Structure 1
Amino acid sequence: MKTFDHLAVIGLREWIALPDLGLAGLRAKIDTGASTSTLHASDIEPFERDGQPWVRFTAHLGSLVQRRHCHREAPLVSMKTIRSSTGHTQHRYVICTNMVLGDRHWPVEFTLTCRKTMRYRALLGAKALVEGQLVVNPALTYVQGKPLLAAPATSSGVR
């Protein structure tokens, strides 16, 4: 059996933080079958800032029982058509923001969509796992612990 010392082991569910958006304590479900990561958002509205495309949205945190939300803005990376396992397609806005999982910190693309009927407010897809050099042990959960929110980023322009 091959082992890779540079890969970090994560469980099927992990705590993440999105410091550029000022979000910490997000429970994320790991989904190796999804290519792109997803963040629960509503009131999604594109706009322009200094001639560049941006998007404002309400980010939803917490569980179905303990709900919290906050308004955020981020540069718009692209639009993406997502096809569900049932064949349903949806057009989504894509943002890129730094993510912290355990002791790792790297930029991750998230599509924005309503996940209000889902247990987890964030879903981590295969691209984020590859870029973060992570390997999943589905028998484990919350292996990496809860990341602390870093000082708010100012260089990205996210408000």
Structure 2
Amino acid sequence: MRNPIAALVLSVCLLAGLVPSAGARGVYGWVEFVELHLGGEALKLKAKLDTGARSSSLDAVDVQPFERDGKRWVRFRLNLPGAKRSAPLEEPIVRYVRIKRHKGPYDRRPMIRLQICLGDELRSVDVNLTNRGRFIYPLLLGRRALTGLAVVDPARTFQRAPRCAASPNGE
């Protein structure tokens, strides 16, 4: 840390157990590079680590729920900055989530489960699909995804590059 007083306060808080670090595997900045393991590819992109958000969101367009063999699925395209329009992806829907919007009614979004690499940790994360085109970061990781994995330092960015190797079964 650049501020020695802040470093001392953080150290004392950690020693006193005032900072929720139990189970956390590292300190991350509020913006980090992550890898999404989706559609047989590992895509590197920027993510905002937002402890104020409960759930995680991925920037997607052309989101179309459908049924396959009696199960709920969704077809969508990733909406990544600077990238050509992606090929459609299809994933099973884990559930739907209602997101409170600042203005207007709740937004109902499909959630899918993705493998995400943050630092050296590969884990399954449920993300809802929504058009995040007006935001800077295409992926927002909320509290549920960060619990037990990360302590977020809002004064830092890009602390740990993604370094995961997917297991043979794709998880």
Tell whether the structures are fold-level matches, with TM greater than 0.5.
yes
1:76 maps to 2:88: no
Task: Give the structure with the higher percent helix.
Answer: 2
- CA RMSD, Structure 1 to Structure 2 (Å): 2.3
TM-score (norm 1): 0.83
In structure 2, the residue matched to 1:143 is 159
Give the secondary structure class of the aligned counterpart of 2:146.
helix
2:10 equivalent in structure 1: none
How far apart, in 2, do the equivalents of 1:59 and 1:105 lie? 20
Q: Distance in 1 between matches of 2:79 and 2:169?
A: 20
Taking CA–CA contacts closer than 8 Å with sequence separation of 6 or more, which of the two structures ends up with the larger relative contact order? 1
Q: Which has the higher strand share?
A: 1
1:33 partnered with 2:45 = no
CA separation of 1:97 and 1:152: change in aligned 2, threshold 3 A: farther
Q: Which residue of 1 aligns with 2:61?
A: 42
2:165 and 2:67 map into 1 onto residues whose CA distance is 28
Preserved CA contact (<8 Å) 2:47 2:141:
yes
What amino acid is aligned across from residue 135 of structure 1 in structure 2?
Answer: V
* Structure 2 gap ranges (5+): 1-12, 16-20
* Identity value in percent: 36
Paired residue for 1:9, among 23, 27, 31?
27
Change (3 A) 1:88 1:67: farther
| TM score, norm. by length of structure 2 | 0.78
1:58 to 69, 77, 80: 77
Residue 133 in structure 1 maps to residue 149 in structure 2: yes
Tell me the SS of whatever aligns to 2:84: strand
Figure out how many residues of one structure are paired with residues of the other and give that number: 151
Kindly state the Cα deviation for residue 54 of structure 1 after the two structures are TM-superposed: 0.7
Does residue 93 (structure 1) correspond to residue 110 (structure 2)? The answer is yes
Q: Please tell me whether Structure 1 or Structure 2 has the larger radius of gyration of its CA atoms.
A: 2
